[in-house]
Amino acid sequence: MLAERWAGGVCYEFDTAWGPPLAFLKTASRDWPELVFALEYEEPLAGLQGSARAERGKLHDHCDAL
């Protein structure tokens, strides 16, 4: 669901079944190298939270325990 839009960016909010879509971010950033993908996530059942950034096919993920 589109949550916010501003000049030069958009923010979507969504749920996933098992965990953050890190492989998707990496692939999408490779396929659209002019875009930067940023993700904040929380997985309460697994006790994890984190953020990821993907740019030009490279993924940087930082995950912490809740």
DSSP readout, the chain?
A: -EEEEETTEEEE----SSS--HHHHHHHHHHSTT-EEEEEEEETTTTEEEEEEEETTEEEEEEEE-
38 in a domain, yes or no? yes
Once rounded to an integer, what is the mean pLDDT over residues 54-64? 96
Give residue 50's domain range. 17-65
Task: Tell me how many domains the chain contains.
Answer: 1
Give pLDDT tens digits for 11-32: 999 998 888 999 999 999 999 9
Q: How confident is the model at residue 64 (pLDDT cuts 50, 70, 90)?
A: very high
5 in a domain, yes or no? no
Please give the model's pTM, rounded to 2 decimal places: 0.84
41 in a domain, yes or no? yes
54 in a domain, yes or no? yes
What are phi and psi for residue 28, nearest 5 degrees? -60, -40
47 in a domain, yes or no? yes
Give pLDDT tens digits for 27-46: 999 999 999 999 999 998 88
